[in-house]
Copies of this chain bind each other. A is one copy, B any other.
Amino acid sequence: MTLPGRGRSRDLGRHFIVKPRSKVDLGAYDPADTSHVGDKEAAKEQLKENSEAIDALQERLFAERKRALLVILQGIDTSGKDGTVRGVFGSTAPLGVFVTAFGAPSAEDLSHDFLWRIHKACPARGTIGIFNRSQYEDVLIGKVRKLAPPAVIEHRYDQINAFEDLISSSTRIVKFMLHISKDEQKERLQARLDDPDKHWKFNPGDLADRKLWDEYMKAYETILSRCSTQGAPWYVIPSDKKWARNAAISAIVRRTLEDMDPRYPKPDWEPADFKVE
């Protein structure tokens, strides 16, 4: 396993990063934009190169065992969270990659604060953790469906920022919002209804959430505006085209790992002292 060069790859992240304390208007982001990656063939080639680089960097991270990487994926139903895990990390060795999908909290989860189940699932040093949904659900569905009083929701943004600052001591954090258009969601929901092999992915409740589209977009704008920090930035990824989404996310994950620059550890023993007999 050799690392392709020590130089840094192209910095696609700067196109998509949400600058700390900026006010986000999602209407200004085109979910169908592909200009950053070129055409489909070029994007697939980029994804392949990035995936190989991520796999090599992940081995170093695992050997080093000093820091973790946490990748948070958020997006409205059908935005492609599962597909991103498959597309971007499908060829990374599963030894050091752990995916956690956060669904409705269990009775045990609910008997603690809202970050308890999140903290438990945070990646250990040396590993990559991928959150398919995350703590942000508590200020997304939590807010839109009024699952907690407004003052409680309001307090959560600061609690999340403080929590992310805490885990930053051992963990690098990147957060992706998979941004699709309302028309694209319609097509994808319809595909799940039309294809029997996709029925299991369809949840009748998704249609109720679709009716709350505008409220969800507002809730996303709030988390992007309030919770993109230097140490745990949000990226808004145009996701109508799956290939453009995968190319962009893989590029940012790769670049983040390059920036962390994990190294094989020096042994605390002298190789010349040992002989295998």
- List residues of chain A with CB under 8 Å of any chain B CB: 1, 63, 82, 85-86, 89-95, 97-99, 101, 130, 132, 186, 189-190, 193-194, 196-197, 199-202, 204, 207, 210, 264-267, 269, 271, 274, 276-277
Contact = CB atoms under 8 A, between A and B. Distances in A.
Contact of A99 (B95, B130, B207): B95
Given A199-B271, A276-B210, A130 B264 contact: no
The count of identical subunits is 2
Contact of A264 (B199, B207, B265, B269): B199
Contacts of A193: 271, 274, 276
A197 B264 contact: yes
13 contacts: A63-B200, A85-B94, A91-B91, A92-B94, A94-B130, A98-B98, A193-B271, A193-B274, A196-B264, A197-B264, A200-B264, A204-B269, A207-B276
Nearest to A96: B99
B94 A94 contact: yes
A188 to B, nearest CB: 9
A123 to B, nearest CB: 13
A265 to B, nearest CB: 5
Contacts of A197: 1, 264
Contacts of A276: 186, 189-190, 193, 207, 210
